[in-house]
Structure 1
Amino acid sequence: MNRIDRLRALTPYEADYVQWCAEQGALLREARFSDLDRENLAEEIESLGRRDKREIRSRMEVLLAHLLKWGFQPGHRSHSWQSSISEQRIWIGNIIKD
């Protein structure tokens, strides 16, 4: 199969993800449920939850590391650690609020 044939064989989801998202959003708003790409849409929704979980875990690891350093290495405290602690707390809060 040549390149052009491969491009023609792509699903809308594979060909232009941003356009696919816009179309799926419009279909949902119009309650055209039978026209939805249910399989890919379900996969995307499930991945959102996993992404947020990974993001929170990663930020919690950084936060905990810097809090431990702050507590156990008072002679090495820096503005960088303080900024990181504040930033991680803000990001975690924002993810949870959303």
Structure 2
Amino acid sequence: MGYYTSLYSSELPHRAVAVYMYLRDRCDKDGKCYPAIGTIARELKLSRSTVKRALADLEKNGRIRKEQRWRENGGKSSNMFYLAQRNSN
């Protein structure tokens, strides 16, 4: 079975599936990435609100965990996303 089989058979909306695939494509070998919401929205041709809803869906489903990152001057930076490690068999 392919890696995405459980994703396709889940009850996640299509927006969440698209965002998950985007994140997975950009993650390092440890399953971490930090694209900005605006970047995700622009590259997937979705609104920022839709991306935010998709990320909330993925968090609720346990597929990702997000953590706020901060700049040295105390300002917010893009979130760090951690993809849940799933068995690919």
Could you say which TM-score interval applies, normalised by the shorter chain?
Answer: under 0.3
Structure of larger gyration radius: 1
* Structure with higher RCO (Cα < 8 A, 6+ apart): 2
